Amino acid sequence: IWLMTREYAYNAQDVLWRRSKLGLRLDTAQAAALEEWMARHEKQVMRAAE
């Protein structure tokens, strides 16, 4: 959530490749799980930004 609120990371690819190199270690299922997690927490991030 910190990356989403403070660094404006909006999707898993942004986190996995631009803000870290975790994309080198995670498989596609793990990347998809991160994408789903970020989508579920998007409303929480929007509230924190207000």
Question: What per-residue confidence (pLDDT) applies to 26?
Answer: 95
Q: Which amino acid is at 43?
A: K
Instruction: Measure Cα distances from 4 to 38, 45, 46, 49 in Å.
Output: 8, 7, 9, 10
Amino acid at 22: L
pLDDT tens for each residue of 5-47: 888 898 999 999 998 999 999 999 999 999 999 999 987 777 6
Higher pLDDT, 2 or 32: 32
At 20, which amino acid appears? S
Range of the domain at 40: 2-49
How many domains does one find in the chain? 1
- Global pTM value: 0.77
